[in-house]
Amino acid sequence: MEKKPHFVRREFLPREVPSISLALLLAAVLLLNALLYLYLNKFYNSLGRVETDPGLCPFGHFKFGAVKNCSPWLSCEAINREVRKLKCVGEGAVKKVFLSEWKEKKVVLSQLTNSELKEDFLHGLKMLKALQSKYVVRLLGYCEQQFTILTEYHPLGSLRGLNETLHIPKYKSMNTWHRRLMLAIDYVSVIRYLHNSPLGTLVMCDSNDLDKVLSQYLLTSDFHVLVNDLDALPLVNRSAGRLVKCGHRELRGEFVAPEQRWPYGEDVPFEDDFMPPYDEKTDIWKIPDVSNFFLGHVEGSDIVRLHLFDIHAACKKKNPAERPSAQEVLDTYRKVLTLLIREAAMPGTREML
C-alpha cells in the first residue's frame, strides 16, 4: 500500500507561527502597558505635584536643599541679623525683590515698595503661609513690621524665560513636546490646587495678559512649575453668594475672560460699581493660551495641540458655567500624555494587531 504524504504538519505550521507571533506581541504590549503604568503612576505621584508631600515640614517650619531637619520660619530679628542682600533682581507695583544670602545659601528677599499697597502685600503673605505645598514657592521667613518676606531662590527665574532657558545647551534635551506638556500639566495642577485650596476656591487675579501670568510662576531647576506671587488671590464663596472682581479698573483684550470685560458697550463709561463679579472659571478661559506657550513649536507639539483641541474649545466657552473644571482639564491633559507616550513607545502596534 502506498503511503500518503504527511500534510498535517505542513498544513498547521503556517497557522501556528502567526498565532505564536500574535501571542508574543500581545504579551509585549501588556508588559509595555504595565511599565507605562508604573512610570505614569510615579510621574503623577512625584512629578505630578500631588498635594500630600511627605517632605513638607509642619506649619511654621521649612527645610530645603540637602538639609533633613525642619527649621522655624525666620523671624524679624533673624532676617535682619542673618540675611545679606546681594542685588536687586526685580521690582513690581507692590514689592522689590533682592537676591540675598542666608547661611551661604541663595534666597530671595521681597520688600514692600508702595505703602498704599500694604494690604496687598500682607494678603500675599497670608496666602503664602496658608498654601505651603508642592505647588507654592517655599516660605523661609517673614517680618510683618518691616513688610519683608523671605523665600527659596530658583535660579531659572519666572516662566517668562522658559524658551530662552530651553535654548541653553545644558537644557536643550528638555526641549521636547513631552517635557513641555509636563510643564503644562504642572501649571493646570496649580490652578486645580488654588480652586480646591484649604482656604476655599481662590482665583488667580494677576493674570490680565500672558506675560503677567508667566511672571507669577517660577521654573525650578528640576523643571517644575511653582506659583510665586499670591498678592491678588480673592476667594469665591458660592454658598455665601460671594464672587470676585480682579481689580477696580476696566479689563480689555481677548486674553481675559468675556465676563471680565465691561458688558455695557463702549458708549457707556466704565464704572466699577456696575461691573458684575465673576468666579474661578476666568482661570479656565486662560488655560489654552498659557498651554499654547508651554507647548511651543517643537517636533510633536502640534500633535499634542490636536489632542487637546476639544478640551481647549470647552475652556473657551463664552458661558462660564459651560467650561470644564480645572480637575477635568487636568484629567484630560494626563490622558493625552498617557496616550502619546504609549503611541511613541509602540509605533505601528495598532497596524500590527
Give the closest residue to 108 by CA, choosing from 135, 136, 140, 81.
Answer: 140
Sheet containing strand 83-91, edge to edge, reads: 83-91, 95-102, 105-112, 148-152, 139-143
Give the closest residue to 204 by CA, choosing from 313, 93, 278, 150.
Answer: 278
For 264, phi then psi, to 5°, come to: -105, 15
Give the closest residue to 217 by CA, choosing from 179, 235, 191.
Answer: 191
With 0-12 / 13-18 / 19 or more C-beta atoms within 10 angstroms meaning exposed / middle / buried, residue 160 is: middle
- Whether 342 shows a pLDDT value over 70: the answer reads yes
Tens of pLDDT, residues 211-248: 999 999 999 999 999 999 999 999 999 888 899 999 99
Contacts of 59 (CB under 8 A, 6+ apart): 129, 132
- Whether 304 shows a pLDDT value over 70: the answer reads yes
Give the pLDDT band of residue 64 (cuts 50, 70, 90): confident
DSSP code of residue 288 = H
Tens of pLDDT, residues 141-152: 999 999 999 999
Ranges for all domains in the chain classified under CATH 1.10.510.10: 154-346
Of residues 288 and 241, the one with the higher pLDDT is: 288
- Whether 320 shows a pLDDT value over 90: the answer reads yes
Ranges for all domains in the chain classified under CATH 3.30.200.20: 71-153
Contact 219, 165 (CB under 8 A): yes
Of residues 39 and 352, the one with the higher pLDDT is: 39
Return the pLDDT at 66.
Answer: 74
- Considering the domain delimited by 71-153, tell me its CATH architecture: 2-Layer Sandwich (3.30)
Give the pLDDT band of residue 7 (cuts 50, 70, 90): very low
Tens of pLDDT, residues 69-97: 899 999 999 999 999 999 999 888 889 99
Arithmetic mean of pLDDT, 175-187: 97
Question: Which of these ranges, 73-82, 87-96, 190-199, 257-266, has the smallest mean pLDDT?
Answer: 87-96
CA distance 43 to 116: 44
Task: Count Cβ atoms below 10 Å from residue 342 Cβ, excluding itself.
Answer: 15
Percent share of the chain, pLDDT over 70: 82
For 282, phi then psi, to 5°, come to: -65, -35
The model's pTM? 0.84
Return the pLDDT at 30.
Answer: 63
The three cell numbers locating residue 261: 470685560
Domain 154-346 annotated CATH 1.10.510.10: yes
Tens of pLDDT, residues 49-59: 445 465 678 99
Contact 149, 128 (CB under 8 A): yes
Return the pLDDT at 339.
Answer: 94
DSSP code of residue 44 = I
CA distance 295 to 184: 8
Mean pLDDT score across all residues of the chain: 88
CA distance 212 to 227: 12
Return the pLDDT at 65.
Answer: 73
Please give the single-letter amino acid code of residue 181. Answer: L
The pairing of strands 139-143 and 235-236 is unpaired
